[in-house]
Structure 1
Amino acid sequence: MTGRISEAIQQDHNEIEACFEKIVHSSSRDEQTRFQTLFTWELARHLVGEEIVVFPALEKHLPDGRSMADTNRKHHHHIKEQLKQFQSMSASNVDFLRTLDSLMTTTLLPHMREEEANDLSKLEDVLSHHDSLKLAKAFSRTKIFAPSRSHPHVPDKPPFETVVGLLAAPIDQLADLFRKWPHEGQPG
């Protein structure tokens, strides 16, 4: 596990970008499918982890935190809608790479860069080192129980996203057993 919350989020962003690169640069549909599964798994869990851990921290610790969290929730909803479309596509679909590119370049990358440069920077400025470490640990733990597929129509505000997420996670995880992964038989 990484240290501070900003490092944990950055590590997730890097892993998501690495999956994107694998999909885009692969000429094998099987490999694209495997990394599509991993991309979806990483991104879905990341989004829910932020909604459960990071957004409430923004609201609690920053004067403009509620506005920041609300803006991020809107971005997340849009990302989840695009991810839902992508996660159900076959790598043989002519729109597969175009859909992924649209998700990544027009929506996800700008959101991640804004988060890293603005939101997390402001949050780290007001958190003690200890509190940042605690948030990173909570973020990591939350992802264990988070749904591994996009569910854009579930609530994204406390406490409902937690309850619905916990209900969706076992169903997603069971279905994950039958999906193709980059490393045979297991996520990540």
Structure 2
Amino acid sequence: MTGHIIDTVKEDHGEIQACYGRIVSSADRQEQIRFQNLFTWALARNTVGKDLVVYPAYEKHLSEGSTLAEKRRKENHAVKGQLKKFQTLDPSNPTFIPTIRGLMEILSPQMREEENSDLVDLEQVLSDHDSISLAKSFNRTKIFMPSRAHPGAPSKPPFETVVGLLTAPIDQLGDLFRKWPHEKDVHT
């Protein structure tokens, strides 16, 4: 069952942070590769989902929503650039761990601010029904979006939607050949 938008985004953030923890705490290259792929997949889909669903809701429902949405889109663009760099690194590369740490140094404060301020403000102006509907849209959108970072792609609808729909099948085909964590490893 889908919850409110704040809970849905927090769940995504938790998955991203858990993958990060597994990557930096592991000395096993294969495990790092599997969680690198999951981290990339989760973060890429999260950023696009926010660009297409959450930020337009800020613009529509919050008094300073346009300014906030633009700020978050700029931050997301920086995150996508760092993620593009990280997603191509092999764990044996000496810049692998510093790159993901740098990415999380950018991302962690943004996630906290979204969870503790932006989404709280949004929840206050949405009805339960609207919040749950927004969460469903966010989750549906992630199904059809790319699973890798594409920082050169547009970040506003409708252009991001079109580019996302065109690049998603290519990313998903590549995903077939990537290594992924086993289900039991993800939830431990």
> TM class, shorter-chain normalised?
over 0.9
Structure 2 match to 1:101: 101
Structure 2 match to 1:68: 68
Q: Distance in 2 between matches of 1:63 and 1:88?
A: 40
Q: Distance in 2 between matches of 1:44 and 1:183?
A: 20
Matches for 1:40-119 after TM superposition, within 5 Å: 40-104=40-104, 106-119=105-118
Find the residue that maps to 2:100 and give its secondary structure. Answer: helix
Find the residue that maps to 1:91 and give its secondary structure. Answer: coil
Task: Give the aligned residue type for 2:9.
Answer: I
**Residue 68 (structure 1) shift:** 0.5
**Residue 27 (structure 1) shift:** 1.1
Find the residue that maps to 2:108 and give its secondary structure. Answer: helix
Structure 2 match to 1:130: 129
Task: Give the aligned residue type for 1:118.
Answer: S
For each residue in 1:135-165, what CA deviation from the matched residue of structure 2 results, as whole angstroms up to 9, or x when unmatched?
A: 0000010000010000001000111111111
* Count of residues paired in the alignment: 185
Percent of matched pairs sharing the same residue: 60
Q: Distance in 2 between matches of 1:121 and 1:109?
A: 17
The answer for unaligned runs of 5 or more in structure 1 is none
The answer for unaligned runs of 5 or more in structure 2 is none
Q: Distance in 1 between matches of 2:6 and 2:18?
A: 18
Task: Give the aligned residue type for 1:124.
Answer: E
**Residue 118 (structure 1) shift:** 1.3
Task: Give the aligned residue type for 2:161.
Answer: T
For each residue in 1:101-133, what CA deviation from the matched residue of structure 2 results, as whole angstroms up to 9, or x when unmatched?
A: 0101x2000110111111101100000000000
Structure 1 match to 2:151: 152
4+ runs deviating over 4 angstroms: none
**Residue 2 (structure 1) shift:** 3.6
Report whether the alignment pairs 1:39 with 2:39.
Answer: yes
Structure 2 match to 1:167: 166
Q: CA RMSD in A?
A: 1.3
